[in-house]
Amino acid sequence: QVQLQQSGAELAKPGSSVKISCKASGYTFTSYYISWIKQTTGQGLEYIGYINTGSGGTNYNEKFKGKATLTVDKSSSTAFMQLSSLTPDDSAVYYCARDLPPYDVMDAWGQGASVTVSS
């Protein structure tokens, strides 16, 4: 069955970076995009952007440009999101999801990766 397995929880210092992984299985990896979503108690669910797993092309929510960098390794069916210049506002649970924009919806999600930014 379709599975997206994300890397574990991260504790990071302000100003540092973290890289979260999302390993896909159970389907043809390059037939779908991977989207990333941020969830916090205060702001709810926010869409970060997606990566075309075949071409590596990306589309970012303006709010996350400069904060998130999406990459992919087709050989291992894994997508990555790097978050840079971390501040406490970046503390959240981050999800990856299988997607097929523009007119299909995120139908399978990873289990989430918690990022805590604290000195």
Partner 1 sequence: DIQMTQSPPSLSASLGDKVTITCQTSQNINKYIAWYQQKPGKAPRLLIGFTSRLVSGIPSRFSGSGSGRDYSFSISNVESEDIASYYCLQYDNSPNTFGAGTKLELK
Q: List interacting residues with partner 1 (CB under 8 A).
A: 35, 44-47, 49, 59, 61-63, 95, 101-112
Residue closer to partner 1, measured from CB, 8 or 13: 8
Least Å distance, CB 112 to partner 1, is 6
CB of 104 to partner 1, least distance (A): 8
Of residues 18 and 97, the one with the C-beta less far from partner 1: 97
Smaller CB separation from partner 1, 90 or 99: 99
d(CA 68, CA 80): 10
Of 38, 91, 86, which is closest to residue 66 (Cα–Cα)?
A: 86
CB of 1 to partner 1, least distance (A): 11
- Asked if residue 30 lies in contact with residue 90, where contact means CB atoms within 8 angstroms, the answer is no
Minimum CB separation of residue 87 from partner 1 in Å reads 21
Radius of gyration of the chain (CA): 13
- Output DSSP code: residue 36: E
- Of 13 and 42, which has the nearer Cβ to partner 1? 42
| CA-closest candidate to residue 4, choices 113, 115, 90, 92 | 113
